[in-house]
């Protein structure tokens, strides 16, 4: 049956990009797929996290999932470190993936910057752990933002190489799918108007948790006042909104704000321009702020309510961890025999 896996790092304030690019899309998939949603705390520590902040951020991501409409009874919701098989399979994949594949990853190059001698080894191996997250559950589909496309391609390469390197053993163990493959070649689900939300300060940079400027992102826990202020201050060019979608070309800030409006209102950019084309930012920005508050404020309230009761969140994560662990151990037991590890 089709199975979805996706993860979010507890590495700072969740923002509108995480919501529109990923979390919001988790909800309808519950009707059509078996769904597994993970707070990837082991990914988060590829860069330094204060332990107390990591615990808080882990609960915050789980609360965001639930507040957005993920039902922890229908979906499996857990934090990655509770299921040790993620680390175990990642090691196997470190031995399947090639150095050259990893070295081509643009996210590593962006995050490491000029200082690549001094970042953690984990940051370099990040995509290998991500492949393990997905393939441990033999997930067929992964809803992510556009920035994760390259990592998803690497996941497919790792699955294909493992299937190929161990083809004889997979057949001998009788653990392949009917087509002989052990791991599926996972499809990314990257669609809609908001697959890459850009910074409010710079339309050429993606909105990001790790941007030092809080003005660059709308956080999911921002209050109405903060949301309105950030949108009001968002960088734009001086021209009016265009009448046609074509007119957004080479206007990254305008394109971004119109895209956010479209995504938040479930309309197309063309619909939004039919309403606001020819008008100035003084009209559009307050309308966008009202819309953002209408969508985000109830969710922030629900997140806050959940966060006031951390024991309940931890119990959800523990229950999810047990259910995820059962699936993970089944895959891992097969992987150990395929490789030739004695138990
Ligand atoms: N700006 C974005 N627009 C659309 N989708 C986005 N995602 C992230 N930024 C945007 C999607 O959110 C999911 C979770 O991402 P992550 O926690 O793994 O972190 P990330 O992709 O590295 O994004 P961040 O939030 O910007 O974190 P930092 O600053 O730590 O790198 C993914 O599905 C991602 O595509």
Distance 179 CA to ligand 1 centre (A): 34
Judged against a pLDDT cut of 80, whether residue 192 lies above it is answered with: no
The answer on 218 and 79 residing in a single domain is no
Residue 233, CA distances (Å) to 41, 120, 257 in order? 33, 36, 12
* Smallest CA separation from ligand 1 atom 15, residue: 8
> pLDDT tens digits for 236-256?
999 999 999 999 999 999 999
- Choosing from 18, 23, 148, 151 the residue with most ligand 1 atoms within 8 A of its CB, the one to mutate for a pocket test is 18
151 lines ligand 1 (CB under 6 A): no
The answer on 242 and 111 residing in a single domain is no
Mind telling me the catalytic residues?
111, 206, 209
Name the band, by pLDDT with cuts 50, 70 and 90, for residue 193: confident
The answer on 155 and 19 residing in a single domain is yes
**Percent of the chain residues past pLDDT 70, beyond the cut:** 100
Distance 252 CA to ligand 1 centre (A): 19
Mean pLDDT along residues 109-113: 90
Residue at 201 is within a domain: no
> pLDDT tens digits for 69-97?
999 999 999 999 999 999 999 999 999 99
Q: How far apart are CA 22 and CA 321, in angstroms?
A: 21
pLDDT at 1: 73
- In this prediction the ipTM stands at 0.96
Burial class (CB in 10 A: 0-12, 13-18, 19+), 264: buried
Name the band, by pLDDT with cuts 50, 70 and 90, for residue 7: very high
Q: How far apart are CA 121 and CA 117, in angstroms?
A: 9
Residue at 110 is within a domain: yes
22 lines ligand 1 (CB under 6 A): yes
* Smallest CA separation from ligand 1 atom 14, residue: 8
Q: Considering its fold, how many domains does the chain have in total?
A: 2
For 104, the domain range is 3-189+310-339
pLDDT at 98: 98
The answer on 86 and 53 residing in a single domain is yes
pLDDT at 75: 98
Name the band, by pLDDT with cuts 50, 70 and 90, for residue 191: confident
The answer on 69 and 162 residing in a single domain is yes
């Amino acid at each position: 049956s089709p199975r979805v896996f996706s993860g979010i790092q507890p590495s700072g304030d969740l923002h509108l990009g995480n919501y529109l690019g990923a979390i919001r899309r988790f909800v309808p998939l519950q009707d059509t797929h078996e769904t597994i949603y993970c707070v990837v705390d082991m990914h988060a520590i590829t860069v330094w996290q204060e332990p107390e902040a990591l615990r808080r951020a882990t609960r915050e991501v789980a609360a965001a999932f639930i507040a957005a409409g993920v039902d922890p009874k229908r979906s499996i919701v857990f934090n990655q470190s509770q299921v040790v098989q993620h680390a175990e399979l990642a090691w196997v994949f470190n031995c399947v993936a090639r150095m050259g594949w990893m070295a081509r990853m643009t996210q590593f190059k962006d995050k490491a910057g000029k200082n690549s001698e001094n970042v953690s080894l984990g940051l370099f191996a990040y995509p290998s752990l991500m492949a393990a997250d997905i393939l441990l559950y033999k997930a067929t589909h992964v809803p992510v933002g556009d920035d994760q496309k390259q990592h998803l391609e690497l996941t497919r390469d790792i699955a294909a190489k493992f299937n190929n390197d161990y083809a004889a053993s997979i057949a001998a163990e009788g653990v392949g799918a009917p087509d002989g493959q052990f791991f599926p070649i996972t499809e990314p689900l990257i669609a809609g108007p908001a697959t890459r939300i850009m910074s409010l300060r710079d339309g050429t940079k993606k909105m990001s948790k790790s941007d030092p400027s809080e003005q660059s992102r709308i956080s999911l826990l921002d209050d109405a006042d903060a949301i309105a202020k950030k949108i009001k201050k968002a960088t734009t060019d001086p021209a009016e909104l265009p009448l046609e979608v074509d007119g957004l070309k080479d206007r990254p800030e305008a394109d971004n704000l119109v895209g956010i409006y479209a995504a938040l209102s479930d309309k197309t950019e063309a619909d939004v321009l039919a309403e606001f084309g020819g008008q100035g930012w003084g009209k559009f920005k307050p309308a966008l702020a009202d819309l953002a508050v209408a969508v985000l404020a109830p969710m922030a309230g629900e997140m806050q309510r959940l966060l006031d009761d951390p024991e309940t969140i931890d119990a959800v994560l523990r229950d999810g961890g047990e259910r995820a662990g059962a699936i993970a151990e089944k895959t891992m037991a097969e992987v150990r025999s395929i490789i030739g590890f004695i138990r």
